[in-house]
Amino acid sequence: MVAAEDTRRSRTLLQHIGATPRLISVHAHTEASQAAPVIALLDAGQTVALVTDAGTPGISDPGARLVAAVRAAGRLVVPIPGPSAVATALSAAGLSADRYLFLGFPARKGRDRREELARAAAAPWTVVLYEAPPRLTALLRDLAALCGPERRAVVARELTKMHEEFRAGTLSELAEWYEEHPPKGEITLVLAGAATAPDAEPDLESIRADAAALLGEGLSRKDVVRQLTESSGLGRNEVYRLVMELP
């Protein structure tokens, strides 16, 4: 049995692996009402897999209420690691992820939005947010007003898919880019923490010179990229490009 956020999408994925389980629909508007039928299936000895469309159940996706109900009924809930835009974006953004703040989708307007974005701007750790494509530019502009236009950020789009893209820059640079190139697909925004945001643009010529010196000392390009990503304030993709351009 598969409890799916969208049975049509899940059926297509299941067909790719030759699986033909029975599917039931469990989405944001039905998970509370479907808790009893799912628990009845578990009581009957069946195993139920909970899946969502583009992420992990309960992480800015439906599932938390169903999981809580199943646990309250004394049934076992077994997590299986799967798609996570948070971890995926952080692993390739080139910003510190020793500690981070995940805020999910910000409120669209009003006091809630102002408070959430102010919290993101003031956080000393890297902040991860989700946003819908039509609202990305407005989010970048609002954050630039609170954080300063030079705060570093990375927009991760369509993670693990055919058109995956990482774009790093300042908030103002990213806002200008996406105003001219309206984004599509699933978007994750990774914002540098307030304590780590640089005061000025990194000196690219100095970073190139440092990279050349490290290569001259015998370090591998991979190690040079890692070391300069940690010390320069540039995103990993930018450092990688810079290092690979060197002879």
List the CATH number of the domain containing 165: 3.30.950.10
- Dig out the tokens for 180 from the structure: 């001219």
Confidence (pLDDT) at 200: 53
Confidence (pLDDT) at 233: 67
Residue 40 lies in a domain: yes
Per DSSP, 183 falls in state: -
Q: Which residue from 56, 48, 55 is spatially nearest to 25, judged by alpha carbons? A: 48
- CATH, residue 7: 3.40.1010.10
Where in the sequence is the domain holding 40, given as residue range(s)? 2-72
Residue 132 lies in a domain: yes
Residue 178 lies in a domain: yes
Confidence (pLDDT) at 202: 67
Residues 64 and 133 in one domain: no
Residues 109 and 175 in one domain: yes
- Of 72, 100, 119, the position where a domain reaches its end is 72
Report yes or no: 155 and 135 within 8 Å, Cβ to Cβ.
no
Report yes or no: 37 and 44 within 8 Å, Cβ to Cβ.
no
**Tens place of pLDDT per residue across the chain (247 aa):** 999 999 999 999 999 999 999 999 999 899 889 999 999 999 999 999 999 987 889 888 899 999 999 999 999 999 998 889 999 999 999 999 989 999 999 999 898 999 999 999 999 999 999 999 999 999 999 999 999 999 999 999 999 999 999 999 999 999 999 999 999 999 999 999 996 544 456 678 888 888 898 888 888 999 888 888 877 767 788 889 889 998 8
Residue 222 lies in a domain: yes
- Of 44, 72, 100, the position where a domain reaches its end is 72
Residues 18 and 93 in one domain: no
Q: Which residues 6+ apart lie within 8 Å of 160 measured at CB?
A: 83, 88
- Of 191, 217, 234, the position where a domain reaches its end is 191
**Which pTM was predicted?**
0.71
- Number of DSSP helices (H) and strands (E) in the chain, helices first: 10, 8
Q: Which residue from 93, 146, 77, 158 is spatially nearest to 116, judged by alpha carbons? A: 146
Residues 182 and 208 in one domain: no
Q: Which residues 6+ apart lie within 8 Å of 104 measured at CB?
A: 60, 129, 130
When divided into structural domains, the chain yields a total of 3
Residue 199 lies in a domain: no
